């Protein structure tokens, strides 16, 4: 992989009967092992690892892991499995993907074409200023999408999705210009939540059962509901999107997450 990171979402359920196999001393040692495995600052840790506790019965513990080496990511899964408390953690869901820059994000050249189409004189200072400003934003955006910093916000939502292939609504038979138009509308809807919600879209075509994974972080739970509801009215979603399961979770450091789960 030359650009970007591999990404893995992992979800576990805590098996109470499995926990009861261990006495308190063993549990304490098991917790210490897990905190060490999930420590994002330890030597040899993946580039990014985030721990959360999941609301509802789909799972108890959620992990999001990113690194340039997929085997470094997999080592987290295998370390949990082989740890002292491993038998008490049952995998319930996983999603494999990679970071990418969407083909619907305009290049600097395409942005210049858009400015000219809107009537901006390419010889004018305004054209040069707008193009330079976009180039700077595009560089920052590209880095964040390929090598993301995970925001320090308390709420996280993850779901996979596809663009459907229905005879009367096949995303992949639409011309690129039409798809770009719809995704531009979709992007404008998302921008309404700047400062409240941030997202990372990872690609999973050929990697998992859905084509993309959507990870949202928010400052409050209601913002997740609001942005997903609002964006479903965009044509790209209303006509062409198919969604998988939704996971809502609350980000905690590993030690606090295990305490919350009463491990």
Is residue 237 in a domain?
no
Residue at 60 is within a domain: yes
Report how far residue 206's alpha carbon sits from residue 98's, in angstroms, rounded to the nearest whole number: 11
Per the domain annotation, does 117 fall within a domain? no
Write out the residue range of the structural domain in which residue 34 sits: 6-99
pLDDT in tens, 48-97: 999 999 999 999 999 999 999 999 999 999 999 999 999 999 999 999 99
pLDDT class of 1 with cuts at 50, 70, 90:
low
| Residue 191 counted as domain residue | no
In a domain, 129, yes or no: no
- For residue 128, being part of any structural domain is answered with no
Judge whether 174 lies within some domain.
Answer: no
For residues 179 and 240, what is the distance between their CA atoms, to the nearest angstrom? 10
In whole angstroms, give the CA distance from residue 162 to residue 212.
6
- CA 193: distance to chain centroid? 17
Query: For the domain that residue 81 is a member of, what is the CATH number?
Result: 3.30.70.1030
Task: Give the three-state DSSP class for 91.
Answer: strand
> Quick one: pLDDT at residue 32?
97
pTM passes above 0.85: yes
Q: What are phi and psi of 62, to 5 degrees?
A: -120, 140
Residues 185-203 pLDDT 10s: 988 898 899 999 999 999 9
State the Rg of the chain over Cα.
21
Q: Is residue 228 a part of any domain in this protein? A: no
Domain count, the chain: 1
Q: Which residues contact 252 (CB under 8 A, 6 or more apart)?
A: 51, 52, 53, 260
Q: How many helices (H) and strands (E) does the chain have?
A: 9, 11
102: its two tokens: 């969407």
Query: Which residue is associated with the tokens 């400015």?
Result: 115
**Looking at 12, 93, 111, 159, which residue is catalytic?**
159
Q: Binning pLDDT at 50, 70 and 90, where does residue 111 land?
A: confident
pLDDT at 25: 95
159 catalytic, yes or no? yes
Say what the pLDDT of residue 149 is: 95
Neighbouring-strand partners of residue 84: none
Local confidence band at 150 (pLDDT 50, 70, 90 cut-offs): very high
DSSP 8-class letter at 173: G
């Amino acid at each position: 992989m030359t650009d970007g990171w591999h990404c893995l979402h992992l979800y576990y359920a805590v098996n109470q009967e499995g926990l009861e196999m261990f006495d308190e001393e063993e549990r304490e040692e098991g917790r210490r092992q897990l905190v060490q495995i999930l420590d994002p600052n330890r030597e040899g840790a993946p580039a990014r690892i985030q721990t959360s506790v999941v609301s509802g019965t789909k799972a108890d513990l959620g992990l999001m892991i990113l690194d340039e080496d997929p085997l470094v990511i997999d080592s987290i899964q295998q370390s949990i499995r082989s740890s002292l408390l491993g038998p008490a953690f049952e995998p319930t869901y996983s999603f494999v993907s990679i970071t990418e820059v969407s083909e619907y994000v305009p290049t600097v050249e395409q942005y210049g074409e858009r400015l000219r189409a809107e009537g901006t004189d390419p010889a004018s200072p305004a054209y040069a200023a707008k193009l330079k400003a976009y180039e700077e934003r595009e560089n920052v955006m590209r880095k964040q999408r390929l090598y993301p910093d995970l925001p320090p916000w308390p709420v996280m939502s993850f779901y996979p999705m596809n663009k459907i292939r229905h005879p009367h609504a096949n995303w992949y038979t639409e011309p690129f210009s039409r798809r770009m138009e719809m995704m531009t509308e979709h992007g404008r809807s998302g921008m309404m939540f700047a400062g409240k919600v941030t997202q990372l879209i990872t690609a999973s075509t050929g990697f998992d059962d859905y084509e993309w994974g959507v990870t949202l972080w928010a400052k409050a739970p209601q913002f997740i509901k609001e942005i997903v509801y609002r964006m479903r009215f965009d044509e790209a979603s209303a006509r062409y999107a198919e969604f998988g399961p939704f996971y809502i979770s609350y980000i905690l450091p590993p030690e606090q997450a295990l305490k919350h789960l009463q491990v």
